[in-house]
Structure 1
Amino acid sequence: MESIQTDHKTEIFQIYVEKKPAFAVEADRLRSDLEEALGISGIERLRIINRYFAAGLAETEFAEAAGTVFAEVTVDNYYWSLPDFAGAALVLAVESLPGQFDQRGDSAAQCIQLQTQGERPTIRTAKIFVIYGRLSKAEQTAVRRYLINPVESREASLQVPSHLIEPPVEPQPVAVLTGFRDLDTEGLKHFLLEHGLAMSLDDLQLIQRDFRSAERRDPTMTEIKVLDTYWSDHCRHTTFLTHINRVEFLGSADESTRCDAGEPDFTDRLADAYEDYLKLRHTVYGEAESERPVCLMDIGTIAMKALRQKGRLPDLDQSPEINACSIKVTIDIDGRDVDYLVMFKNETHNHPTEIEPFGGAATCLGGAIRDPLSGRSYVYQAMRVTGAGNPNMPFNETLPGKLPQRVITKVAADGYSSYGNQIGLATGQVREVYHPGYVAKRMEVGAVIAAAPADQVIREEPAPGDVVLLIGGRTGRDGCGGATGSSQAHTDESVMKSGSEVQKGNPPVERQLQRLFRNPIAARMIKRCNDFGAGGVSVAVGELADGLTIDLDKVPVKYQGLTGTELAISESQERMAVVVRRDQARDMIALADKENLEATVIATVTEEPRMIMNFGGRRIVDLSRALIDSNGASQETDVVVQAPSFDIHYFIPQYAGMSFAKRLRSSLALLNACSQKGLASQFDSTIGSGTVLMPYGGMYQDTPEEGMVARIPTPEGETDAVTLMAYGFDPYLSEWSPYHGAYYAVLQSVAKLTAMGGSPTKSRLSFQEYFPAMR
């Protein structure tokens, strides 16, 4: 065994682990990928070796861990020093960027701590790729590009480092933006560009006016960043809340907009549909209509408001907590009627998955889980619907600043399935749709369904003196700027510049959170809850009450040196914010400790409607609730609606004049007609034993189901009550006509539910927006 003695008298041990040739599945698969994707034909052999550097443990403890933690002796070979790579054409070591979560290293450290019953050691890992054969310089460069995503990883040295833990750096104090109130319009424009803010110039001018008249001081950089996050499109749906002043309907240029001969122009149909919406507004809002601006959010929710007004939604569960859709149901458990809440949520993680597919897709599921979890419900089934370009696209046709479609598609599937399989969540349906438009921006949608006994969900208004607990993972720099980053348009430099916006998931911690929230004693202590998603502390805690004093020094950190701004907006995953009475805080911390979770009091609810953050003995945020809740300056726009063309359109048969055999072959050759059973096999659909319909059925288990069905989980007793979920969407139809695309999406999803045995009258719809940058 070799080790390095550092100046700090701390030994760094090393071990290298690789699969025996008969079990080297990952290496064989990567070789096939490189040959197929990059067209490299000279690879004769490929090895993948996992490297571990360890410090903070005795030599005997490290040696004992070799065959129990680092390697499985039946399938692995391991070496105490760097193996001899003589004759290799390329030796490439890849490691995570500093500050990124290293799950392999973290898991190994936890296992060693359990084994030694001592302090947790420090583990750093890397993967070493060794390729034998003939590789040109250009091919070596292509392999490096294929294996290293600069957003989250880098090429590592093969040498043993002198230390594993970086010495702590004293964080810089938060700057006061002296002179901000005096900036003119040009100065504010420069300020926006200089600090890379997502807000508009109007937003910044609103802040300036508030600090001139109400606060009478210059803001801190943290206050600007907090407001930029709070008012981002990701957090506040700025695009959907933009006021629409005028709508103009245009026919399709130089082409027919008539559906059939003798039919009215489709432009008139679109105008009539909009008129129906305006009439519905008058019915729903009455005299208050003038106070409710026309916007996309209102168009999307007006039908629900009308149904609720008519008493057609008696099972809707309304509350100030709106992280997930919630409906009231009564289910039979062992012959007893028990009131339950069923919650469902869908969300996208397009931008993070585009730039870092594994972490982006994994935290898509993690974030979707935490939304119903904040409602104290247990998530038991998930669905994944994604949109991608052709994964068979040649590597050399990858757009500048983009990852190859093959890499995004495969690694995103790895990330989502890894998270779900580790946390223990059944994935009932997996479907990827292909369209050239997704080359510009991937679509990554995760949908989950959850349930909880109604008597376990207590919702009360936070009162002055109540405390806010941060429960779960520690905070790092990962995810800083994620909300604002996903709210901005992206360029060919986005991949290189967005590393800090990527979150890394830690599914075992989220599993522990689910166990804690399923404990009825813990659930009933919670007065209000929010998950740490976009915006971090500033949003997760800031939304819980009007008045809050937050102590950022109390926030548990992954490493030292974080600034006050980073602590305020970091989007590190697997964290929950809960409001409890002060006298119950110790009991909640004890329950969290039983699940191996950290729980820390980080804030107090106050009477004055202001959000205050203290850090390092200074007040770095002191914002009025009125300013925060203004959501920034009102955005206004005019809308032009282009009617679809009916000269060449979706409903014209593509294969007119062909024989049946040719039409069949042409249809089966389409990428969207390919079997996706191989993709679905990565996702465990049986976890929890509640799955009613397997993803593929029929005599040969090759026929995809229309959706997913699962039994509602009950802590005690048995029930036959189930939930059904299906999706509807066709990218080619939506490309031709967004109106028809939305119309048929509803029809298709409800038809699928009905085909699976569900009732169309009991169906509930949840719409997922996906749109380009508004111009």
Structure 2
Amino acid sequence: MREKDLSVLKKEEILFNSEVITYDNFTSLNDTEIEKMRADLGLSMSFEDLKFVQDHYKEIGRNPTETEIKVLDTYWSDHCRHTTFETKINKVTFPNSEFGKQMEKEFNDYLKLKEDVSKKRAVSLMDMATIVAKYLKKEGKLDNLEVSEENNACSVYVDVEVEDFEGKKAIEKWLLMFKNETHNHPTEIEPFGGASTCLGGAIRDPLSGRAYVYQAIRVTGSGNPLETVEETLKGKLPQKKITTGAASGYASYGNQIGIATSLVSEIYHDGYKAKRMEVGAVVAAAPVENVVRKSPVPTDSIIIIGGKTGRDGCGGATGSSKEHNDKSLLLCGAEVQKGNAPEERKIQRLFRNAEATKLIKKCNDFGAGGVSVAIGELADGVEVNLDLVPVKYDGLNGTELAISESQERMAVIVSKEDTEKFLKFVDEENLLGTVVGYVTDKNRLTLNWKGKAIVDISRDFLNTNGVQQNIDIEVRDYKNENVFEKFKTSDSSLEKKWLHNIKKLNVASQKGLVEMFDSSVGAGTILAPFGGKYQMSPTDVSIMKFPVLDKNTNTASAITWGFNPYISEWSTYHGAIYAVVESLAKLVAAGVDYKTARLSFQEYFEKLGKDAYKWSKPFLALLGAMKAQKDFDVAAIGGKDSMSGTFNDISVPPTLISFAVSPVNVHDVISTEFKKAKNKLYLVENKIDEKDFLFNSEELKENFEFVLKNIKAKKIVSAMVIKMGGLAEALSKMSFGNRLGFEINNKDVDLFSLKPSSILIETTEELSHKNAIYLGEVSDKFEGKINGENINLENVESVWLNKLKPIFPYKLEEEIETYDIKNKISEKKIYKSSITIAKPRVVIAAFPGTNSEYDMYNRFNENGAEAKITLLRNLTQNHLAESVDQMCKDLRNSQIFVLPGGFSAGDEPDGSGKFMAAVLQNPKLMDEIKAFLGRDGLILGVCNGFQALVKSGLLPYGEIGNVHENSPTLTFNKIGRHISQIVKTKIVTNNSPWLSSFEIGETFDIPVSHGEGRFYASDEVLKQLFENGQIATQYVDFNLDATNEFRFNPNGSSFAIEGIISPDGKIFGKMGHSERYSKDTFKNIDGNKNQNLILNGIKYFK
């Protein structure tokens, strides 16, 4: 064994991998040898594609390099070029039945539409998916669509109402972007990494469009996670392992980067045991004036910004285009990328800088295919020097550099004259920026490595996307049964039916899953994931304010989804129609106008091969989606297809998810929880024709208009769309939030059948509409009564909550305690700074991993301060030294120092806040902070910032460095996962400038979101803190008692401590995000949500 000489601090030399080979005999291979080569190399391209490549190289008189074959395989993969969706449909046969005739008519209608708007394109799934948008645009019904050379994400123009902090109102033109993304293949192989990079990849698409990503939802498909390990298919991970690992991965990435995720839904179906469905959808926005779109010209610089390149993700695009088998789990691990959320957060910050974005002519994110695709798509002619690509480690060869899908990288084109200026902006954001090539006029993709061109492919050949495949399709009848009745249960008594229904996997509570995701970052969350006093009524729509800076806004974006796998596996045509209308109905039930919605589809089907019947499944789904779009005049302006959902002989259920996005005024938004006893209950029914199992779209539009009109008139105060659990599910879930029951007196009511796009509404008065069926009233007792028969809602709620508890625990089981120990209260001090300043200056420190700096920035400026974000850069020792000097300079000129929330350095090393604490202990900064406090300066630390204050000694001791083994700490939540919810906290001292306006005993309802927020100290230390009057705030229950009960004290803090102050009160640290409140946020949570301690801090200097 060779030992390392530790006295020699020298990096071990890693030799380069082998040279990139040329396939010398490629052009002379016969057909059998071509097929063997395809199989030996594991290529995803078809035999016909590889023959086409051979013919091309024969024509140009040379053999291809290994890199060229890999690049072409990646470029032409189903993942990158949608080859399945682009396959030419030659012939479609229909059955001689009513359904067959109906489908043939709709197909002919498509062909007529195609003659009008898409004549030159071949008949294909892609053409069917996009044709309605083209038609509506031609008809002038899609006039807000942004059209450009860049295809980053769905993008529309929106008018945003803004009001500055002086009260001046205006309308600004913004771009609203959204994108859905799947990572089914990598998540099946490595759940945490696959799901985290699913979100990372989704974010980078609109981010590359120069929009700030602020909103996310997650829709996943899993087999039964409650099945035993013994039931796991050979060659597969257990479903519990996949679903819990994926949830942790997606949540970890989103929580770190700072994107509010308030809608998280998992669909359960045995078909997803074939391959998991992992879908993320994100929403982004930017002022139109900040986004420049220009065509590149020769000599323009090609710049890579962000992360370095490694081997992770090599083959990801081609791997995701293949079906799985018994060996996939063992062989595909290297195809899974490694995510780094703090790095992507830096790109978010850079692209929020208008000065920087206006220099960008064109941008593309690094996803599938790495350099070859990200840069290859930017211009017709590009030349890249792969030796300049920053790497994570030595030893990568040219092929790996060309196709690696390492994450958190962006490729931009900037004019030669603007390059230096742009790179300066990149450096200021603590990002690596490297010029790796330039635009040429040669119409070729050229990649050089070690002085040789290892890729030199003509653009014309690359753009062929290989050989266009051809297919015939055979449509068959769906099974003649009423699928909507299948959701009924056959138990004898009503209560047994109710309980059986509420504990179905697709009806049961997912609270323990949902609360892993930060839903409040960005200070724009209009609806919390669970509404009501008890936070138990789930919401069906994510609604967030537009991310305006230095202003307030009433304009928000709403996003939701629709899909039912059981309808879709029965008939993909019906499944797609009901997916579209369900997504629209969910918007309507929240007060969002469906007519302003824009859609994006997620298609996920089995590997189709050459099977004509299998091809009919996506074909019919897209016919159904076309019909729904035309009927409602809404268009799908984007989408994502994944066509490899097969494992040996089993496949995923045919899946078409409709994502619906729309702007909305926050004043029009309502939520799902019952509001008041004696209010009326109606079912606004979407009547299904039992002959063809469809509905009258005109009547459904009338239903939607009736609901929207009465929401605007404030007559409908809560609403929920009927889903898989029927009316009984909606009644239950709307009851849970405020523990209000219902009394139904309608003997014709159908409680358990599926009623797609019907809406249960609560009204303040009697209403009349032809499809509004009166059901009864809301009750002040937490019980249900159906035509005189009682339903025990306590029992129903318990069964609902506990079904998935073994997988996603929603609470801790421990003996509940309350604490009556109190601070030793001294006489209240009058807090007034020794200096008076009209507009106090605030330094907000942003470390790598910080994600709440903008929320703090807005709140301080809104309340009359002058805030500045100071970034800690640590790319090199020089960056770190410069940053510390800058922070010291800013502190000398400021009165308030703020450490906001986030995950500094990804909560490394060994726990939250330690990196920040280490920086604070820099001798220069220590001295500056000491002098700052001596000048009556104030310090505030929230969440990650609180952790840093505690771990540096500033809390509870008031000075840096006085930390020992018995010092208090903030550690992992007792439940062992991230928690995100609203908590009630009580003021237990007001002897601090930060708390001076509050009364002792006053309570506030505050969002929390953290993984390490449990305040812990020894009994002796806790006693001393109480003696000193340093306990500032505590988590309390509905009786205002401090408690350890999980729903009130979710991290399990000792004595329910939420925040503490320094001995002199000038330093305050807390876990709750008081800065995340803004007007009209958390509309479905009652309480005192505006804990304006920021204003108190500012007034201290006035």
| The one of 120, 136, 157 aligned to 1:328 | 157
Q: Specify which structure has the higher proportion of helix.
A: 1
- CA deviation map 1:30-57 (0-9, x unaligned): xxxxxxxxxxxxxxxxxxxxxxxxxx6x
In the alignment, structure 1 residue 477 sits paired with structure 2 residue 323: no
Letter of the aligned partner of 1:266 in structure 2?
Answer: F
Displacement of 1:337 in angstroms is 1.5
Post-superposition shift, 1:498? 0.7
Asked if 1:9 corresponds to 2:12, the answer is: no
What are the within-5 Å matches in structure 2 for residues 192-271 of structure 1? 192-213=38-59, 215-250=60-95, 265-271=98-104
Work out the CA distance in 1 between the residues paired with 2:234 and 2:7.
Answer: 45
Task: Indicate yes or no: 2:294 matched with 1:449.
Answer: no
Residue type of the alignment partner of 2:63: D
After superposition, residues 61-72 of structure 1 pair within 5 angstroms as: none
**Structure 2 counterparts to residues 307-346 of structure 1, below 5 A:** 307-334=136-163, 335-346=169-180
- Deviation string for 1:415-464 (max 9, x for gaps)? 00000011111102000010000001100000000000101100000000
Q: Letter of the aligned partner of 1:387 in structure 2?
A: G
Alignment CA distance shift 1:659-1:270 (3 Å): farther
Q: Which residue of 275, 292, 295 corresponds with 2:108?
A: 275
Match of 1:532 in 2: 366
**Aligned position for 2:453:** 619
Taking only the aligned residue pairs, the percentage that are identical comes to: 52
Q: State the Cα distance separating 1:656 from its structure 2 match.
A: 5.8
CA distance in 1 between partners of 2:323 and 2:206 (Å): 29
Q: Which moved more, 1:755-764 or 1:645-654?
A: 645-654
CA contact (8 A) 2:381 2:444 kept: yes
The 3-state SS of whatever aligns with 2:495 is: helix
1:403 paired to 2:237: yes
Return the match for 2:31 from 171, 181, 185.
185
Contact 1:650 1:736 in 2 (8 A): no
1:650/1:732 contact within 8 Å kept: no
Give the number of equivalent residue pairs.
604
Letter in 2 for 1:743: I
SS of match in other structure, 2:552: coil
Determine which of 480, 497, 504 is the counterpart of 1:670: 504
Shift in alpha-carbon separation, 1:201–1:455, aligned structure 2, 3 A? same
The amino acid of 2:569's aligned partner reads E
Which deviates more, 545-554 or 655-664?
655-664
Query: Are 1:353 and 1:444, in contact at CA under 8 Å, matched by a contact in 2?
Result: yes
Distance in 1 between the 2:156 and 2:603 partners? 22
1:235, CA displacement in angstroms? 0.2
Q: 1:10 to 1:459 in 2, by over 3 A?
A: farther
In the TM superposition, what whole-angstrom CA distance separates every residue of 1:704-763 from its partner, at most 9, and x where no partner exists? 112110000112311111111110011111111111110000110000001111111101
Alpha-carbon distance in structure 1 between the residues aligned to 2:518 and 2:186: 24
1:373 correspondence with 2:218: no
* Amino acid of the structure 2 residue aligned with 1:548: V
Matching residue of 1:440: 274
2:873 alignment counterpart? none
RMSD of aligned C-alpha atoms?
1.6
- The SS at the match of 2:84 is helix
Counterpart of 1:305 (choices 111, 134, 152) is: 134
Determine helix, strand or coil for the equivalent of 2:339.
coil
Q: Which blocks of at least 5 consecutive residues in structure 1 are unaligned?
A: 12-55, 57-162, 252-263
Distance 1:268 1:631 in 2: 35
Cα distance, 1:231–1:760 mapped onto 2, change above 3 Å: same
Q: What residue in structure 1 maps to residue 19 of structure 2?
A: 173
Match runs of 1:662-701 below 5 Å: 662-701=496-535
**2:121 aligned residue (292, 300, 307):** 292
Q: Tell me the residue number matched to 2:435.
A: 601
Q: Which amino acid in the other structure matches residue 436 of structure 1?
A: D
Query: SS of the residue aligned with 1:673?
Result: coil
Q: C-alpha separation between the residues in 2 aligned to 1:647 and 1:380?
A: 44
- Aligned counterparts of 1:276 and 1:627: Cα–Cα separation in 2: 34
Equivalent residue of 1:330, what SS? strand
Residue 476 of structure 2: aligned partner: 642
Cα separation, partners in 2 of 1:465 and 1:409, compared to 1, 3 Å: same
Amino acid at match of 1:298: D
The residue aligned with 2:582 is 748
- Please tell me whether the aligned partners of residues 235 and 327 of structure 2 are also in contact (alpha carbons under 8 angstroms): yes
3-state secondary structure, aligned to 1:448: strand
Return the TM-score normalized by structure 2: 0.54
Indicate the SS of the match to 2:285. Answer: strand
Whichever residue aligns with residue 9 of structure 1, its letter is L
What are the ranges of 5 or more consecutive residues in structure 2 without an aligned counterpart? 164-168, 610-1102
Q: Distance in 2 between matches of 1:725 and 1:382?
A: 9
Q: Give the structure 2 partner of residue 122 of structure 1.
A: none
Letter in 1 for 2:213: V
In structure 2, the CA distance between the partners of 1:10 and 1:323, relative to structure 1 (3 Å rule), is farther
Give yes or no for contact 2:491–2:497 (8 Å, CA) kept in 1: no
CA contact (8 A) 1:317 1:327 kept: yes
Query: 1:770: Cα distance to partner?
Result: 0.5
3-state DSSP class of the match of 1:508? Answer: helix
For 1:320 and 1:301, locate their aligned partners in 2 and report how far apart those are by CA, in whole Å. Answer: 17
Taking structure 1 as the reference length, the TM-score comes to: 0.76
* Alpha-carbon distance, 1:176 to partner: 0.9
State the AA in 2 paired with 1:174.
Answer: V
Instruction: State the partner residue of 1:706.
Output: 540
Change over 3 Å in CA distance of 1:197–1:10 after alignment to 2: farther
Q: Quote the Cα distance in structure 2 between the aligned partners of 1:705 and 1:459.
A: 37
Task: Give the counterpart letter for 1:299 in structure 2.
Answer: M
Cα distance between partner residues in 1 of 2:230 and 2:601: 36
- Describe the shift of the 1:394–1:167 C-alpha distance in structure 2 as closer, same or farther (beyond 3 A): farther
SS in structure 2 of the partner of residue 241 of structure 1: coil
- Deviates most, 580-589 or 621-630: 580-589
What amino acid is aligned across from residue 177 of structure 2 in structure 1? M
After the TM superposition, which of the residue ranges 683-692 and 644-653 deviates more from structure 2? 644-653
Range moving further from structure 2, 321-330 or 531-540: 321-330
Q: 1:385 aligns with which of 190, 202, 219?
A: 219
Distance in structure 2 (CA, Å) of the matches to 1:234 and 1:723:
29
CA–CA separation in structure 2 for the residues paired with 1:230 and 1:273: 34
- Go from structure 1 to structure 2 and tell me whether the alpha carbon gap of 1:653 and 1:425 turns closer, same or farther (over 3 Å shift): closer
Change (3 A) 1:392 1:601: same
Equivalent in 619, 632, 635 of residue 466 of structure 2: 632
Higher relative contact order (CA 8 A, sep 6+): 1
Question: 1:731 maps to which residue?
Answer: 565
3-state SS of paired residue (1:238): coil
Change (3 A) 1:378 1:596: same
Offset, 1:328: 0.5
Question: What's the counterpart of residue 352 of structure 2?
Answer: 518
TM alignment of 1:547-626, pairs within 5 A? 547-626=381-460
Give the structure with higher Rg (CA).
2
Deviations 1:88-118 (A, max 9, x none): xxxxxxxxxxxxxxxxxxxxxxxxxxxxxxx
- Aligned-partner Cα distance in 2 for 1:648–1:344: 36
Deviation at 1:520, TM superposition (A): 0.6
Q: Is the 8 A contact 2:188 2:194 kept in 1?
A: yes
